[in-house]
Amino acid sequence: MKDLQKSIVNDQTTQEDEFSRRDFFKSAAVVAMGVGLAGTTQELSAAAAAEVVEVAVDEKPVDYLYHDSHVHLTSYVQEGTDIHDYLKIMGDKVGRSLLFGLPLQQKWSYLNSGDRAPTYYLHSDAPLYYYSFNDAMMAYEYGKLNEKEKERFDPMITGFNPTDMYAVDHIKRVLKMYPNTFVGLGEFSIHKEFVSSKISGEAASLDNKALDNIFDFAAEAGLVVLFHNDIDIPFGEKSPMPVYAKQMHDLLKRHKDTTVIWAHTGLGRIVKPHSRSDVHEHAEGDRNPNHIEILEYALKDPELSHLNYDISWDQVAKYIIATPETLQRTADMINKYPDRFLFGTDHVAPDPESYYSVYEMYQPLWDALTPEARKKILLTNYERIFDKAKVDVAAWEKKNNL
């Protein structure tokens, strides 16, 4: 990822260069500032093209283990893995991958952590803020690939504030500056334990009209929406239907033409699955639904047929494989609704030592699924959703002369 700055300095040493150092930073910074400038796409793509590295590709069909529907190339301090290094990690085991970073930057406050630089949101009490330049960084990394390599990545736009009524304008500018690149929005967060309270400014909400506008435009342009939203309030009292689950369902029913992936099935470190032992105190003998039942409530609702779930993150894996019962109930649900689930690692700045750990954690689940369900959650659901997005977004871009 540091190649973005390093290559700029190395390539801008003479007046005969195709564009100046100042012009490049002006064009790339447009995304962060939310200002559209004509003619900048060629400048940034030229810089990226200068670093294209040819990689030999075996033309024979490869039996991949999975496509990664949830992975962050960069961290909360916008550092990460070079895309060619990630491609080597993928090798002949991972076929395709979404390409996005993190839309939030952890502030380094000297008054909070002194000389110790935080690299994660749990490392500091200092706030997080939206970092729109990440979209330019992802477009730059994608531009370093040759055409064959690009087929293995599906870039996503993340650098917008979901509480901002101008968010859609940002998304449109990114599509205009980088045509034939992005296929979706995300991962971005609305309600997220530890994170939401740290973000500077207005708190995100599922009821915010700005979010409705984002979903409306996603449907118009064919963009897939991947976002994190806790299914319930951390440490909240258990109720028949988790408060954020109800709000989420209401949101999605307002946007039936938007393809949505609910990250982690709504779970987190603190936001744990509802269990069978939870008792609804307002009706004697009445039991709250467990997490599987809550998911199935949505899966069988025809008004929520556009909702999909990913089971990314080792935190989610530990819940699913915790006991033979939780494993079997999860497998039964996925076998019953095999078209509605995707697998992702949720690795941040992937490295070869740990990248495959989440997939390996899930081996008991893979063994419990039918061959059809296993293939769909690992491979073909991804292909169906994002192949369609590529076609739909390309059609929207052509219609709008991008």
Give the three-class secondary structure for 299: helix
Structure confidence by residue, pLDDT tens digits, 144-194: 999 999 999 999 999 999 999 999 999 999 999 999 999 999 999 999 988
pLDDT of residue 43: 46
Residue 223 has pLDDT above 60, yes or no: yes
Q: Where are the domains of the chain?
A: 3-399
Average pLDDT, the chain: 86
Calpha distance 316→330 (Å, rounded): 11
- Residue 37 above 60 pLDDT? no
CA distance 390 to 230: 28
pLDDT at residue 69 above 80?
Answer: yes
Residue with tokens 């070079």: 82
Q: How confident is the model at residue 289 (pLDDT cuts 50, 70, 90)?
A: confident
Crossing angle of helices 243-253 and 291-299, in 10° steps, is 10
Q: If you ran DSSP here, which 8-state letter would residue 199 be given?
A: B
Among candidate residues 188, 140, 147, 143, the one with its CA nearest the CA of residue 164: 188
The architecture CATH gives domain 3-399: Alpha-Beta Barrel (3.20)
CA angle 358, 99, 367 (to 5 degrees): 25
For residue 241, name the pLDDT band (cuts at 50, 70, 90): confident
Range in 37-41, 76-80, 324-328 the model is least confident about: 37-41
Q: Looking at 175-316, which runs of residues are DSSP E strands?
A: 184-189, 224-228, 260-262, 307-310
**Distance in angstroms (rounded) separating the CA atoms of residues 71 and 97:** 8
* Pairing between β-strand 94-99 and β-strand 153-157 as defined by DSSP bridges: parallel
Closest CA to 89 of 349, 373, 378: 349
The secondary structure of residue 37, as a DSSP letter, is -
φ, ψ at 157 (rounded to 5°): -90, 130
- Single-letter amino acid code for the residue at 112: N
Mean pLDDT of 11-22: 38
pTM value is: 0.84
Which token pair is 6? Answer: 């390093």
Per-residue DSSP letters for 274-293?
P-TT-B-TTSTTPBPP-HHH
The whole-number pLDDT of residue 287 equals 54
